[in-house]
């Protein structure tokens, strides 16, 4: 099987085709020949091998579905007409919006405050649209299938049952004083109680803030404080494979660390641990009678009917925190109407959902991330589709867990991260082949670019060559898919997110000239020229930072922070972050947050964090550390520093490499030269560097002390 590292992938991608974003609606004039697919083969995927052997051939304009071209053009030229029809026909509005004024916005910071409004004046409720409509029309259809960490724990819930559960949680929240606009923090395992609690908040107009269950007490406390949440819903603990995570103990530490003005008034506690697990984790049983309330008992004591609070389309729906290069997590704010329409429409189109009763969708993401929000809690339910909620991990109790789950529940659309696929590839083909995966018809990937070897394995071994692969690119801030294949609409290319979704107008900006790049075969900063319904409206309590982060670099454009290429066929290839955010196993990790954790140790003088290619994680964390005078680097200190980061930020932030160095490479103005650090961290450059070939480092003449580079290279000889 062809195996390429991330650096090889980028080289391969550049050789195959240079890429950048098309500022106008996709035109057949920009699409020129590769292969003209025969009848019935429009969605046929090319393997990486085929692409490498036929790189000189270009796509035929006829390969792109004509209806897509027409609809995309309309969605860009007349968004009011395009989105008003979709919103009115596919969703319930208690009060209609003005169809002639669907979109109002300003992307030019030079012309005034940045603002985005969709469907302003319309009244709706996303919980009603995701639950009540189907509870009335198809009450006995399965809405959610739960599979626990223990494979023997499964359960199914109809839309009628789902509505009752959502209403009970909503009534509990109301009884605790939660009202429209209040924030509720959710720190829960991936049980059905998590999406149910999200829907319950939305039902009564409360703003939910889901915090990933892998985050530390410090991270949880920071998010509770910033959001102003007075109610927290958590669990005593959760099984993750053979491990038990004591969520309640972490939550207690977080709540106890908050000042008087930030105190959580009510903590609802879901009991998940069995007697044996509690015996090993006694602090999970701790309850503060003045604050803690049993979640199940509280739900049992209230009615299973709760009226809907109708929301203006621009009322806040949720806050979701994401890492930033400044080191302070950003509270991304999404609003009701636009997010509802966009998450629903992207789900239906990208995963080819047409209402078939047999369709079962499985997104493996946690609801602590935007993928779990849009394509587990909301998108599928807004469409009336059965969805799987998975608490476990891919390799427990063995490497066939994903595939046994697909077989057991007859999953038709499967959406996961390249990190998981790469880990499962290493286990061989047998865990896949021993299960019947014939129910699958769509495969998807999310979180990071997928390398060709993993793409081929996914296509050939999992999908048997019969399932289109939708390699999706989007962000927490976008709310839904932005660049993505649409099944059977055009040929696929391994590693390419292909073309923009409806309403998405990408542009590639040259950083040197700050001008938009025209045509194909170009590379630049990936930006967006106009709003789409699902985009974030602001950062919680910090609109100034929202404008600075996303709109200050190129006036008139939303800047994604990613670089991209547009190839000869107009296909997009996202090449990664252009700022200091790493994507490790699909998780966005701010380098500044990790650096702050290191520097918080008494022995550390300075730290610089970069990413390096990792065949399973995609990127891994490499930290250069300078120690205070008189402190010697040691294995014990290295382990202590890694442990500190994991405890403060979460286990998934644990650095892979800690490289002790006497100094960091800096310019005369004091700026750290991170490009040099990235090159030294890259395993593919190690042999050349140790042999004395420093050419790959580029110009080092601007460094205040070039000798530092030699010290760093020599440090590669020591175990890190």
Residue-wise pLDDT for 468-488, tens only, equals 999 999 999 999 999 999 999
Tokens read off for 501: 């979704």
Beta bridge partners of 682: none
Whether residue 123 has pLDDT greater than 70: yes
Q: What is the dihedral of CA 562, 566, 571, 574, to 10 degrees?
A: -20
Average pLDDT, the chain: 89
Q: Where are the alpha helices (DSSP H) in 444-542?
A: 452-457
**Pairwise CA distance, residues 179 & 676, whole Å:** 52
| pLDDT, mean of residues 200-214 | 97
Look up tokens 């998780």; give the residue: 587
The average pLDDT across 631-642 equals: 95
Conformation bin of residue 121: beta by default, left when phi > 0, alpha when psi is -120 to 50? left
pLDDT digits (tens, 9 = 90+) for 129-144: 999 999 999 999 999 9
639: its two tokens = 């382990």
Tokens of 108: 């030019």
Given this model, what pLDDT does residue 668 score? 57
Name the DSSP class of 47: P
Displacement of CA 671 from its chain's centroid (Å) = 31
* Confidence tier at 319 by pLDDT (50, 70, 90): very high
pLDDT average, residue stretch 100-117: 96
pLDDT (mean) for 393-411 = 97
Are 633 and 601 spatial neighbours (Cβ–Cβ below 8 Å)? no
What is the pLDDT at residue 400? 97
pLDDT at site 7: 34
> How far apart, in Å, are the Cα atoms of 50 and each of 53, 347, 452, 468?
5, 30, 11, 16
The answer to whether the bond into 397 is cis (omega within 30° of 0) is yes
Helix residue spans in 61-127 (DSSP H): 66-77, 79-90, 126-127
Dist. CA 108–CA 547, nearest whole Å? 10
Check pLDDT > 60 for residue 11: no
Question: What count of Cα atoms within 13 Å lies in the side-chain half-sphere of residue 449?
Answer: 31
Is the four-CA dihedral 223, 227, 232, 233 of positive or negative sign?
negative
Contact 684, 628 (CB under 8 A): no
- What does the pLDDT read at residue 305? 98
Strand-strand pairing, 469-471 and 413-416: unpaired
Residues in the chain: 720
With cut-offs at 50, 70 and 90, classify the pLDDT of residue 547: very high
- Per-residue pLDDT at 31 exceeds 60: no
- CA 632, 635, 636, 642 dihedral sign is positive
Written as six digits, the tokens of 561 are 């922070």
Q: Which CATH class is domain 581-715?
A: alpha beta
Beta strands in 176-296 (DSSP E): 183-187, 207-210, 231-235, 238-240, 243-245, 266-270, 292-294
| β-pairing verdict for 231-235 and 207-210 | unpaired
What pLDDT does residue 21 have? 32
Q: Stretch 420-449: mean pLDDT, rounded? A: 93
Residues 6+ positions from 710 with CB-CB distance below 8 Å:
none
Greater confidence (284 vs 11) lies with 284
Can you tell me the distance from the alpha carbon of 354 to that of 296, in angstroms, rounded to the nearest whole number? 36
Structure confidence at residue 702 (pLDDT): 61
| pLDDT score at 155 | 98
- The predicted model gives 214-231 an average pLDDT of 94
Under the banding of pLDDT at 50, 70 and 90, the label for residue 47 is very low
Mark 425-445 as b/e (b = at least 16 C-beta within 10 Å). beeeeebbeebebebbbbbbb
What's the mean pLDDT in 238-252?
Answer: 93
Transcribe 399-460 into DSSP letters.
Answer: TTHHHHHHHHHT-SEEEE-HHHHHHHHTT-SHHHHTS--TT--EEEE-SSPPPHHHHHHIII
- pLDDT value at residue 440: 99
Can you tell me the distance from the alpha carbon of 680 to that of 238, in angstroms, rounded to the nearest whole number? 39
Spatial separation of the C-alpha atoms in residues 522 and 508, rounded to whole Å: 8
Q: With 80 as the cut, is the pLDDT of residue 327 above it? A: no
pLDDT score recorded for residue 60: 58
Q: Residue 36 above 50 pLDDT? A: no
pLDDT for residue 46: 45
Distance CA 104, CA 98 (A): 12
Give the per-residue pLDDT at 696.
87
Instruction: Give the tokens for residue 526.
Output: 């990936």
3-state secondary structure 296-355: HHHHHCCCCCCCCCCEECCCEEEEEEECCCCCCCEEEEEEHHHHHHHHHHHHHHHCCCCC
Give the pLDDT band (50/70/90) at residue 673.
confident
Give the residue carrying structure tokens 């999406």. 195
pLDDT score for 1 = 23
Q: What is the pLDDT of residues 146-204, one digit of tens each?
A: 999 999 999 999 999 999 999 999 999 999 999 999 999 999 999 999 999 999 999 99
Percent of the chain past pLDDT 70, that is, above it, reads 89
Dist CA 596 CA 601 (whole Å): 9
Q: Specify the 3-state DSSP secondary structure of 290.
A: coil
Longest Cα separation, the chain: 73
- At 76, is the pLDDT very low, low, confident or very high (cuts 50, 70, 90)? very high
Q: How many CA atoms lie within 13 A of 206 on its CB side?
A: 31
Q: Which residues pair with 643 in a beta bridge?
A: none
Query: What is the phi/psi pair of residue 454, to 5°?
Result: -70, -35
> What is the pLDDT, as a whole number, of residue 670?
65
**Confidence band for 79, pLDDT divided at 50, 70 and 90:** very high
Domain ranges of the chain: 581-715
CB atoms within 10 A of CB 522: 19
> With DSSP H G I counted as helix, E B as strand and the rest as coil, what are the percentages for the chain, rounded to 5?
35, 20, 40
What stretch of H or E contains 657? strand 657-660
Q: Are 456 and 1 in contact (CB under 8 A)?
A: yes
> For residue 395, which phi and psi values (nearest 5 degrees)?
-110, 20
DSSP state, residue 666:
B
pLDDT of residue 450: 86
Give percent of the chain with pLDDT exceeding 90.
Answer: 72
Strands (E), 2-141: 103-106, 115-118, 123-124
* Structure token pair of residue 621: 């964390």
Residue 210: Cβ within 10 Å count:
29
């Amino acid at each position: 099987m062809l195996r390429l590292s991330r650096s090889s992938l980028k080289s391969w991608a550049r050789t195959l085709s240079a890429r950048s974003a098309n500022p106008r609606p996709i035109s057949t004039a920009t699409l020129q020949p590769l292969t003209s697919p025969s009848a019935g083969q429009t969605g046929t995927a090319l393997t990486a091998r085929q692409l490498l052997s036929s790189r000189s051939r270009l796509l035929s304009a006829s390969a792109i579905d004509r209806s897509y071209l027409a609809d995309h053009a309309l969605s860009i030229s007349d968004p009011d007409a395009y989105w008003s029809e979709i919103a009115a026909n596919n969703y319930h509005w208690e009060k209609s919006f003005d169809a002639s004024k669907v979109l109002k916005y300003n992307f030019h910071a030079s012309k005034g405050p940045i603002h985005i409004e969709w469907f302003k004046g319309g009244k709706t409720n996303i919980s009603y649209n995701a639950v009540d409509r189907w509870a009335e029309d198809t009450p006995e259809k399965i809405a959610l299938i739960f599979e626990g960490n223990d494979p023997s724990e499964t359960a199914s819930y109809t839309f009628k049952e789902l509505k009752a559960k959502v209403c009970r949680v909503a009534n509990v929240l109301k009884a605790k004083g939660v009202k429209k606009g209040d924030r509720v923090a959710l720190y829960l395992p991936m049980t059905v109680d998590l999406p149910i609690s999200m829907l319950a908040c939305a039902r009564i107009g409360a703003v939910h803030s889901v915090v990933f269950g892998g985050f530390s007490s410090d991270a949880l406390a920071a998010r509770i404080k910033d959001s102003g949440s007075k109610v927290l819903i958590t669990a005593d603990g959760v099984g993750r494979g053979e491990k038990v995570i004591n969520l309640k103990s972490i939550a207690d530490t977080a709540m106890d660390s908050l000042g008087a003005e930030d105190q959580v008034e009510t903590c609802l506690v879901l009991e998940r641990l069995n007697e044996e697990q509690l015996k090993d984790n006694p602090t999970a049983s701790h309850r503060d009678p003045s604050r803690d309330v049993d979640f199940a008992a509280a739900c049992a004591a209230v009615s299973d009917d709760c009226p809907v609070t109708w929301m203006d389309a621009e009322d806040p729906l949720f806050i979701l925190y994401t890492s930033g290069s400044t080191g302070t997590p950003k509270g991304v704010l999404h609003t009701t109407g636009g997010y509802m329409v966009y998450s629903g429409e992207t789900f239906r189109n990208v995963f080819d959902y047409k209402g078939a009763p047999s369709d079962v969708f499985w997104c493996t993401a946690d609801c602590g991330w935007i993928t779990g929000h849009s394509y587990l809690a909301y998108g599928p339910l807004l469409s009336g589709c059965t969805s799987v909620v998975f608490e476990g991990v891919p390799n427990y109790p063995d490497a066939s867990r994903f595939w046994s789950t697909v077989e057991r529940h007859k999953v038709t659309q499967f959406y996961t991260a390249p990190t998981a696929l790469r880990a499962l590839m290493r286990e061989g083909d047998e865990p896949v082949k021993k299960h019947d995966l014939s129910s699958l018809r769509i495969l998807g990937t999310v979180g990071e670019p997928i390398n060709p070897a993993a793409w081929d394995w996914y296509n050939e071994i999992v999908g048997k060559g019969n399932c289109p692969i939708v390699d999706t690119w989007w962000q927490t801030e976008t709310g839904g898919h932005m660049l993505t294949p649409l099944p059977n609409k055009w040929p696929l290319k391994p590693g390419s997110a292909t073309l923009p979704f409806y309403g998405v107008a990408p542009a590639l900006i040259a950083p040197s000239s700050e001008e938009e790049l025209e045509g194909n075969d170009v590379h630049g900063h990936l930006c967006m020229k106009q709003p789409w319904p699902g985009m974030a409206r602001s950062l919680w309590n910090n609109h100034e930072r929202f404008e600075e982060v996303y709109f200050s670099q190129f006036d008139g454009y939303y800047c994604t922070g990613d670089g991209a290429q547009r190839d000869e066929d107009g296909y997009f290839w996202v090449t990664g972050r252009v700022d200091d955010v790493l994507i490790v196993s699909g998780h966005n990790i701010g380098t500044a947050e990790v650096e702050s954790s290191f520097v918080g140790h008494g022995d550390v003088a300075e730290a610089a964090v970069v990413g390096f290619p990792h065949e399973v994680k995609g990127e891994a964390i490499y930290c250069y550390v300078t120690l205070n005078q008189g402190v010697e680097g040691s294995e014990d200190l290295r382990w202590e520093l890694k442990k500190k980061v994991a405890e403060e930020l979460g286990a998934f932030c644990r650095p892979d490499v800690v490289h002790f160095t006497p100094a960091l490479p800096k310019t005369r103005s004091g700026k750290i030269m991170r490009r040099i650090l990235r090159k030294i961290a890259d395993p593919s450059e190690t042999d050349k560097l140790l042999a004395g070939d420093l050419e790959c480092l580029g110009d080092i003449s601007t460094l205040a002390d070039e000798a530092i580079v030699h010290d760093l290279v020599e440090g590669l000889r020591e175990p890190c």
